[in-house]
Amino acid sequence: MRLLHTSDWHLGRTFHGASLLNEQRQVLQAMIDLVREHRVDAVLVAGDIYDRALPHVDAVRLFNWALGQLRATGARIVLSSGNHDSAARLGFAAELLDAADVHVVTDLQRMVQPVVLSATDHQVAIYGVPYLEPRTVMEELEVEEPSHQAVVAAALERVQSAHNDLCAKAAAPVHSVVLAHLFAAGGMGCDSERALSTGNLDVVSAGLFAGFDYAALGHLHGKQRLQEHVRYSGSPLAYSFSEARHRKSVLLVETDAIGVAGVEELELPVPRALAVLRGQLEQLLADPDLGWAEQAWCQVTLTDAQRPAEAMTRLRERFPDTLVLAFAPEGAETEAQPSYAQRLARAKSTAEVCADFVEHVRERPVDEDEAHIIDDVLKRVREGRVSA
């Protein structure tokens, strides 16, 4: 059997205000062509189909088109919800879609109902684990700790139990494949991902997937291998300049009677390159080696000692799609400031998250009085004197 592992389509996302719908359609078309070329039996999409819970109508149309084209290749489709998706909206009419071999998993009941593929000498059971918000599902999963580790462990125990029951009734070997949308320990994030929680409470152990033949993970946008059969496919497009050097791909997983026979990376095209440029304005405008960046989306950091007049206007004369402009004068004795995403990842308390958000929006730190206000509001919320 051949399975195509992908995730994090984020349909409807913009890139610093620029629409990505055309680029997303191009890369999905390339994915569809790969499914047809490699005679894929099932396409696995591990969450974050949309970029937001209430997607724009154009994003819904693009998803509808992609599903139709993928089914036209003959491949079955299994997808689960991510933290950007609305599980209720994505899961609408899931039972009806089953009849079209499009299997949408957004709740705990469907999680233990596998999609079973049959070959001559083995079967593959595919289980989708949707994104699990701990406080929302901890009661149903009968766990006491509101952590991602606890709820994912409990969910996977239920999946493993269901798979054991399936194997007991099967005449041929049944291999297990699980989709999951989460942050597994050892994974490397980037700037375009939304933090699931603060203080590393979102991290789960990759060892939780030890009982499965393959874990098709989503959430992290860079492709990576945590263990031989525990992998992130990454997003099909770059969604931040921190991904400028990523090589986007999908993973082709092949099974045989023994188990997973191999995993192959299939590279996807880059509809629009990303350029991260740094230097003095006149040097960037004159450098012949930067011709390739004239058609790219650009992030530019100018190092001129004095801020050049009309810098953005002049840059866009050569690099028309310059989206981000920063200044870092050479020799200036200033410490490099962490990005908002970096500060958020390092935050240890809710108060720090609130303070970083205020600083990010206003471009100045909170003062002592404002810090006291934040602490007071949070205290009132914890004591139940105001609603969160």
Give residue 10's region: left, alpha or beta (phi > 0; psi -120 to 50). left
Q: Are 358 and 332 in contact (CB under 8 A)?
A: no
Q: What angle do CA 181, 182, 184 make, to 5 degrees?
A: 130
Q: Are 127 and 179 in contact (CB under 8 A)?
A: yes
pLDDT confidence bin for 388, thresholds 50/70/90: very low
**pLDDT, tens digit, 9 for 90 and up, residues 19-48:** 999 999 999 999 999 999 999 999 999 999
Whether the pLDDT of residue 227 is over 90: the answer is yes
Q: Are 243 and 190 in contact (CB under 8 A)?
A: yes
Any bridge partners for residue 20, and if so which? Answer: none
**pLDDT, tens digit, 9 for 90 and up, residues 376-387:** 787 666 555 554
Helix (H) or strand (E) holding 89, with range, is helix 87-90
| CA–CA gap between residue 104 and residue 94 (Å, rounded) | 6
What is the mean pLDDT of the segment spanning 355-380?
73
What is the mean pLDDT of the segment spanning 205-229?
95
pLDDT value, residue 61: 98
| CA–CA gap between residue 1 and residue 252 (Å, rounded) | 10
Closest by CA position to 303, among listed 284, 280, 324: 280
pLDDT value, residue 385: 57
CA distances from 11 to 54, 69, 251 (A): 11, 16, 20
Whether the pLDDT of residue 337 is over 90: the answer is no
Share of the chain above pLDDT 70, in %: 89
Q: Which residues contact 244 (CB under 8 A, 6 or more apart)?
A: 238, 274, 275, 276, 299
pLDDT value, residue 55: 97
Any bridge partners for residue 302, and if so which? Answer: 279, 327
| CA–CA gap between residue 234 and residue 46 (Å, rounded) | 10
Lowest mean pLDDT among 75-89, 282-296, 367-381: 367-381
Closest by CA position to 151, among listed 221, 216, 201, 87: 201
Any bridge partners for residue 104, and if so which? Answer: 79
| CA–CA gap between residue 37 and residue 198 (Å, rounded) | 42
Class of residue 273 by CB neighbours under 10 A (exposed 0-12, middle 13-18, buried 19+): middle
pLDDT value, residue 387: 46
What is the mean pLDDT of the segment spanning 101-124?
97
Whether the pLDDT of residue 179 is over 90: the answer is yes
Q: Which two tokens stand for residue 283?
A: 């040097």
Whether the pLDDT of residue 327 is over 70: the answer is yes
pTM of the predicted protein model: 0.83
| CA–CA gap between residue 281 and residue 322 (Å, rounded) | 13
Collapse the DSSP code of 45 into the 3-class scheme (helix H, G, I; strand E, B; otherwise coil) and give the result: strand
Any bridge partners for residue 105, and if so which? Answer: 80
| CA–CA gap between residue 238 and residue 247 (Å, rounded) | 9
Whether the pLDDT of residue 67 is over 80: the answer is yes
| CA–CA gap between residue 292 and residue 132 (Å, rounded) | 42
204 or 362, which is more confident: 204
Average pLDDT, the chain: 91
**How would DSSP label each residue in 192-216?**
TSPPSSSTTTTEE-GGGGTTSSEEE
| Max intra-chain CA distance, the chain | 75
What is the mean pLDDT of the segment spanning 206-217?
96
Q: Which two tokens stand for residue 355?
A: 């303070």
pLDDT confidence bin for 76, thresholds 50/70/90: very high
Whether the pLDDT of residue 215 is over 60: the answer is yes
